[in-house]
Structure 1
Amino acid sequence: MDLLNEVKDAGIIGAGGAGFPTHAKLTSKAEYILLNGAECEPLLRVDRQLMAQFPDEIIRGMEAAGRYIEAHKAIIGIKGKHKEVIVLMRARIAALGLANYMEVMELRDIYPAGDEQVLVHELTHRIVPEASIPLKVGCVVINAETALNISQAMAGTPVTETYITVAGDIPRRLTMKVPVGVSIRDVIGQCGVENVDDYAVIDGGPMMGAVMNNVDGYVTKKSKGYVLLKKEHFLIRKKSVNIDQARVISRTACEQCRMCTDLCPRYLLGHNMQPHKVMRALSYNLGDVKEQQIAQLCCECGACELFSCPVNLHPKSVNILYKQKLAEQGIRYQPTQLEFTPRSAREYRLIPSKRLIAKIGLTAFDKPAPLTQIEFRPEYIRIALRQHIGAPAIPVVTVGEQVKAGQLIGKIPDNSLGAAVHASLDGTVIENTQDFIVIKVGSYV
C-alpha cells in the first residue's frame, strides 16, 4: 500500500485545528514540504512537546510525505525561543542521515507565525496569492502532530487519539493524549477544576477559538486545546459579543484609524485585506455587498479585534458578517493579480507574542502545561462522523456490534472529500446516527 492510501485509511486530518484530510494534500507534487511547528496560539503547548518527545517519528513522517510529493526540500519551522527543541530536532535530522534534505529554520516569536500563509513566507520568502493555497507557490504544509500521525499510519496505526493542552486560570495546566470521543468534561476534570460551570471555556486557542455555549461535547481528532477563564475576564467578555452586537458597536464607534488594516498579517503580505474599509461600509450602511468581497480574504486570526483596534471594536466579526452575506449571494472574491510583495512596513508591524499575551490579559497564565500521561476510563465515548472538512463519514458498524480500538467505524463516502473514523477504545456500539456513534466502553459492558 502506498503512503497516500495508508494516510487515507488511517483517517489522518490536519491536527492544527482546521481538519483538512491529509491524504488530499498528498495528491499533488510540490517543491517544498513545510512542517508547522510554530504553535503561535498563546498558552497552547502541544507541538513543541511532541517534537521533544517524538522527534524521530515526526521527522520520518515528514520525510515520507515529502518524498511522496517529490518535494526537493523539507523545512521545519520552530520558534527560535524553543532552543532545546531546535537543537534536538537538528541533531536527530543529522543522525537519521537527512541533513541534505531536511532543515530546521527558526521563526520569530510573532503572531500569527503559524498562519499557513505567514509560515510559507517566513520559511521560503514566497507569498501565497489571495484566496489561494500554499500549493500555488509550490508548498505543502503539515502540522507536527500530523507528521507524527503519518509515521504511525506507516506502521498500521490509525488516528484514535489527539493531544490537547488545557490551560488558563486553573489549578493544574496539562497537555495530554486523549482518546477521540471522550467527554470534554472528563478532560477538563484532569486539571483540578472542581466545577467547570464556574468558568467560560474557549475551544481552541485564545485568539481563534470560540467560547463554548456548554462543555457537554466530546473530543474530536482536531481538538487542540481548551482555555478556561473566569467569566468576567476581558477575553471572555470580548468573545461573547455576538455578530449582531458587534455590528451595532462597530457601526457607531469606528473612527477609521486604519490600525486593523495596518497590522493585519495578510495585508502586510501584500494582499488586499483591508478591514477598515469593511468597517467603513458598515458605518455608512453601504448595501452593495459585492464591493466588500475583500472580507473573504480574512483568515480570522483575531489580531485586528483583540490587539490592533484602540477602542476594542470588532473588525473580525464584521468581516465574518460580510462573508456570510457574500456566501448567501454566491459571490466569491476574484483576485486581480497573482504575484505579491510584502508591504514595505511589514518588518516594523509584526505583533510580538508577549505583547499580544499581555494585551489580552493572559500573562499570568502563560506557564508550562507539561505533557502528562493520563489514563482515561470513560463509561461511554461519542465519536463524531464529521470531524473534518468535507463530507461526514458513513457508519460501517451497527448497534450491538462489538468493536476494538483502531477498528474502522466510519468510511469516506464515495467520490467525496472526507476522512475515515475509527473506534478509540474497545466496546459495544449502543447508538448509531448520521452524526455520531456512541460506544459503551468494554469495562462497562
Structure 2
Amino acid sequence: MNLLDMIKDAGIIGAGGAGFPTHAKLASKAEYILMNGAECEPLLRVDQQLMAMYPEEIIKGFEAAGKLAGAQQAIIGIKGKHKEVIAILRDKIQALQLGEYVAVKELPDVYPAGDEQVLVYELTGRIVPEAGIPIHVGCVVVNSETALNIYKAIQGKPVTEKYITVAGDIPNRLTVKVPVGTPVMDVLKLSGIENFDDYAVIDGGPMMGPVMANLNGFVTKKSKGYVILKKQHHLIRRKTVKTEQARRINRATCEQCRMCTDLCPRYLLGHNMQPHKMMRTLAYSLKDMEEQKIAYLCCQCNLCELFACPAGLYPKSANMMVKQSLMEQNLRFQAKPKEYAVRTARAYRLLPSKRLVARLGLKDFDKPAPVTELELRPETVQIAVCQHVGAPAVPAVKAGDRVTEGQLIGTVPEGSLGAPIHASISGTVLETENGFIAIRRD
C-alpha cells in the first residue's frame, strides 16, 4: 500500500480548523510543504506541546508528507517565543540528517500568525490569491498533530484519539489525550468544575471558536480545545449577541472609521477584503451586489470584531450577513488574475498576541496547560460520521456488532471527498443512526 492510501485509510484530516481530508491535500504537487505550528489562538497549547514531546515522529511524518507531495523544501513555522521547542526541533532535524530538506522558521508572536494565508506569506513570501488556497502558489499546509498522525499511519495506526487543551477561568488547566467520540462534559470536568450552570464554553480558541449551545456534544478529530469562562465574561457576552441585535447596533453606530479594514489580515496581504464596506452595505441597504461579493474573502479571524473596532461593533457579523445573503441568491466571488503586494503599512499593523490577550480579558488565564498522563476512559463514545469536509462516512457496522479499537467502522462513499472513521474504544455498537456511531466499552 502506498503512503497516500495509508493516510486515506487512517482517516487523517486537518487536526484543527475545517478538517479537510489530508489525503486529498497531499495528492497535489507542491514546491513547499509547510507545517503550521503557530497555534495563534490564545490559551491553546496542543501544538507546541506535541512538538516538544514527539519531535522525531512529527518531523518524520512531515518529511514523508513533503516527499509525497513532491515538495522541494519542508518548513516548520513556529513562533519565535517558543525557544525550547525550536531548539528541540532543530536538534532532532540534525540528528535525523534532514537539515537540507526540513527547516524551522520563526514566526512573529502576532495574531493570526496561524491563518493559512498569513503563514504562507511569512514562510515563503508568496501571497495566496483572493479566494485561493495555498496550492495556488505551490504550497501545501499541514499542522503538527496532522504530521504526527501521518507518522502513526505509516505504523498502521488510524486516528482514534485527540489532544485537547482545557483552559480559561478554571482551577485546573491541562492538555489531555482522549478517544475520539468522548463526551465533551467528561473532558470539561477535568477542569475541576462540576457544575457548569454559571459557565459558558468556547469550542476551540477564544477568537474563532463558537460558544457551545449545549455541553452534550462529543470530541471529534478536529477538536482542539475548550475555553471555559463565566457567563458574564466580556468575551462570552460579545460572542452570544444575536444576529439581529448586532445588525441594529451596527446600523445605529458605525461611523466608517475603517479601523476594521486597516487591521484586517487579508487586506494587509493585498486582498480587497474591506469589512467597513460591509458595515456600510447594511447601514444604507446598498444594492451593488458586485461590490458586496468581497464578503467571500473574509477568513473569519474575528480580529475586526474583537479587537479593531473602537466602538465595539460587529464587522465580522456584518460580513457574514452579507455573505449569507449572497449565498441565498447563488452569487459567488470570481477572482480576477492580478499581481498581489502586501500593503505598505502591514509591518506596523500586526497585532501582538499579548495585546490581544489583554483586550479579550484573558490575561489572568494565559497560563500553562501541561499535558497530563491522566487516562480518560469513557463508558460510551459517539463518533460523528461527518467530522470533516466532504460527504459523511457510511457506517460499516450495525447495532450489536462487537468492534475493537482501531477497527474501521465508517467508509468514504464511492467517488466522494471524505475520510473513514474508526472505533476509538473496544466494545459493542449501540447504534449507527442520527449522525453518530455509538460504542459501549466492554
TM over 0.5: yes
Note the alpha carbon deviations across 1:386-423, whole angstroms, 9 max, x for none.
00011000000011000000000000011111010001
1:286 paired residue number: 286
1:411 aligns with 411
Name the structure 2 match of 1:269: 269
Match of 1:46 in 2: 46
The 5 Å alignment of 1:20-31 reads 20-31=20-31
Taking only aligned residues, the RMSD between alpha carbons, in angstroms, comes to 0.8
Determine if contact 1:185/1:196 at 8 Å carries over to the other structure. Answer: no
Matching of residue 120 in structure 1 with residue 120 in structure 2: yes
- Does 2:254 match 1:254? yes
Counterpart secondary structure, 2:197: helix
The CA deviation at 1:17 is 2.2
Q: Secondary structure, in 3 states, of the residue corresponding to 1:223?
A: coil
Where does residue 74 of structure 2 map in the other structure? 74
What secondary structure, in the 3-state scheme, does the structure 2 residue paired with 1:48 have? helix
Q: Does 1:8 align with 2:8?
A: yes
1:59 paired residue number: 59
Code of the aligned partner of 1:342: V
- Structure 1 residue 288, shift from structure 2 partner: 4.2
Following superposition of structure 1 onto structure 2, how do residues 15-414 of structure 1 map, counting pairs within 5 Å? 15-414=15-414
Q: Aligned partners of 1:308 and 1:324: how far apart in 2?
A: 23
Alpha-carbon distance between aligned partners in 2 of 1:393 and 1:55, rounded to the nearest angstrom: 32
Aligned counterparts of 1:415 and 1:243: Cα–Cα separation in 2? 38
Amino acid at match of 1:72: Q
Deviation at residue 328 of structure 1 after TM alignment = 0.9
Q: How many residues get paired?
A: 442
Three-state SS of the structure 2 residue aligned to 1:373 is coil
Task: Name stretches of at least 5 consecutive residues in structure 2 with no aligned partner.
Answer: none
Measured in 2, the distance between the counterparts of 1:335 and 1:170 equals 46
SS in 1 for 2:148: helix
Q: 2: distance between equivalents of 1:329 and 1:17?
A: 27
Report the Cα distance in structure 1 between the residues aligned to 2:197 and 2:289, rounded to whole angstroms: 40
Shift of 1:286: 1.4
**Structure 1 unaligned runs (5+)?**
none
> 1:300 corresponds to which letter in structure 2?
Q
The residue type equivalent to 1:423 in the other structure is A
What does the per-residue CA deviation read over 1:223-278, in whole Å, with 9 as the maximum and x for residues that have no partner? Answer: 00000000000000000012221111111110100100000000000000000011
Taking the aligned partners of 2:325 and 2:414, their CA distance within structure 1 comes to: 32
Q: Deviations over 1:188-243 (max 9, x none)?
A: 11121121232100000000000011101000000000000000000000000122
Deviation at 1:18, TM superposition (A): 1.6
Q: CA deviation at 1:377?
A: 2.2
TM-score, normalised by the number of residues in structure 1: 0.98
Runs of 4+ in 1 over 6 A off after TM superposition: none
Worse-matched range after superposition: 287-296 or 225-234: 287-296
The one-letter amino acid paired with 1:319 is N
Name the aligned partner's letter for residue 130 of structure 1.
Answer: E
Q: Is the 8 A contact 1:290 1:326 kept in 2?
A: no
1:59–1:147: 8 Å Cα contact kept in structure 2? yes
Please give the alpha-carbon distance, in whole angstroms, between the structure 2 residues aligned to 1:306 and 1:91.
39
CA contact (8 A) 1:385 1:434 kept: no
Q: Which amino acid aligns with 1:270?
A: G
Deviation at 1:376, TM superposition (A): 1.5
Contact 1:406–1:424, Cα closer than 8 Å, also in 2: yes
CA distance in 1, matches of 2:217, 2:163: 17
Q: Give the distance between the partners of 2:243 and 2:15, measured in 1 at CA.
A: 28
Deviations 1:293-313 (A, max 9, x none): 011100000000000000010
Distance across 2 between alignment mates of 1:419 and 1:338: 35
Taking the aligned partners of 1:233 and 1:18, their CA distance within structure 2 comes to: 27
Report the identity percentage.
66
Report Cα offsets for 1:82-123 as digits up to 9, x if no partner.
000000000000000100001000000000000000000000
CA contact 1:289–1:325 (8 Å) conserved in 2: no
Decide whether the 8 Å contact of 1:261 with 1:276 is kept in 2. Answer: yes
The equivalent residue for 1:438 is: 438
Taking structure 2 as the reference length, the TM-score comes to 0.99
